[in-house]
Amino acid sequence: MTITHILFDLDDTLLLNSTQQFLPAYLRLLSQYLARFADPHTIPMLIMECTAEMQTNNNPDVTNFEAFYRPFLARLGVTFDEIQPWIERFYLEEYPVLRENVEPAPFGRETVVHLMDAGYTVAVATNPLFPEIAVEQRLEWANMSDLPFALVTTMEEMHFSKPNPRYYEETLSLLNVAPENALMVGDDPERDIAPAQSVGLHTWHITADPDDAESPLHGTLADFYQWVKAGKLETFFK
């Protein structure tokens, strides 16, 4: 058995991000920006409802982007052409201020660069709930926007989202790799570890508490970095 592909979650794996701080700030900014279309006090709930509806999508012919915008546009009573320029301007002009809520994970860039230099194919398997323009910025915030990832999952491209196991099947298909030849690295046991394992992926659970580990391989990102630097990725899976 040989591992050829490494898949990384983004938030709280490569990018330290407090959801309790980031999500309310994000929803507040976006709601204020879209106030011309609806009461800004109602928009956060609408976004969350449509995101939840998007996550129930199980149709391989409908992208996450389409699954979100269909109910979102219908409930706002606007067309895509009417609102999309404002969405794009939001991500260009307002979204960047949210950078103050996040920081690069220690050893994140070092780990990814080491794996790429060693010949591994590396992908960012982030939950595809955000558009490409937002994910690109989050990679920049993680100090990784210049790295040649084989795949970065976004809502425009993907048809499923975490924790749906079909998200991992689609990701593996896009990478053209069998699950037994890939390792998923992530912090969330319900979104990263369990569904990845269910389709046959090997996993490394990012956690500082061994008692909370949901994977035989576990530890902090610093632990993972030292593990791969010591050549254990190659020897463990022989």
The yes-or-no verdict on residue 183 having pLDDT over 80 is yes
One-letter identity of residue 173: S
The pLDDT score that the predictor gives to residue 55 is 96
Q: What is the mean pLDDT of residues 177-205?
A: 97
The pLDDT score that the predictor gives to residue 190 is 96
CA dihedral (91, 97, 102, 103) positive or negative: positive
The pLDDT score that the predictor gives to residue 9 is 98
The CATH number assigned to the domain with range 5-17+104-236 reads: 3.40.50.1000
The yes-or-no verdict on residue 92 having pLDDT over 90 is yes
The pLDDT score that the predictor gives to residue 180 is 96
Q: What is the mean pLDDT of residues 92-107?
A: 95
Percent of the chain whose predicted confidence (pLDDT) is above 90: 94
Q: What is the mean pLDDT of residues 188-203?
A: 97
Q: What is the mean pLDDT of residues 187-198?
A: 97
pLDDT tens digits along 16-42: 998 778 999 999 999 999 999 999 999
Q: What is the mean pLDDT of residues 149-176?
A: 98
Conformational region of residue 109, where left means phi above 0, alpha means psi within -120 to 50, and beta covers everything else:
alpha
What is the DSSP annotation of the chain?
----EEEE--BTTTEEE-HHHHHHHHHHHHHHHTTTTS-TTTHHHHHHHHHHHHHT---TTS-HHHHHHHHHHHHHT--HHHHHHHHHHHHHHTGGGGGGGEEEPTTHHHHHHHHHHTT-EEEE---S-S-HHHHHHHHHHTT-TTS--SEE--TTT-S--TT-HHHHHHHHHHHT--GGGEEEEES-IIIIIHHHHHTT-EEEEE-S-GGG--SSEEE-HHHHHHHHHTTHHHHHT-
The pLDDT score that the predictor gives to residue 64 is 98
The pLDDT score that the predictor gives to residue 21 is 83
The pLDDT score that the predictor gives to residue 237 is 80
Model confidence at 7, pLDDT cuts 50, 70, 90, reads very high
One-letter identity of residue 223: D
pTM of the model: 0.95
pLDDT tens digits along 201-212: 999 999 999 989
The yes-or-no verdict on residue 238 having pLDDT over 80 is no
* b (16+ CB within 10 A) / e for 126-138: bbbbbbbebbebb
Model confidence at 234, pLDDT cuts 50, 70, 90, reads confident
The yes-or-no verdict on residue 157 having pLDDT over 90 is yes
> What are the residue boundaries of the structural domains of the chain, listed by start?
5-17+104-236, 19-99
The pLDDT score that the predictor gives to residue 110 is 97
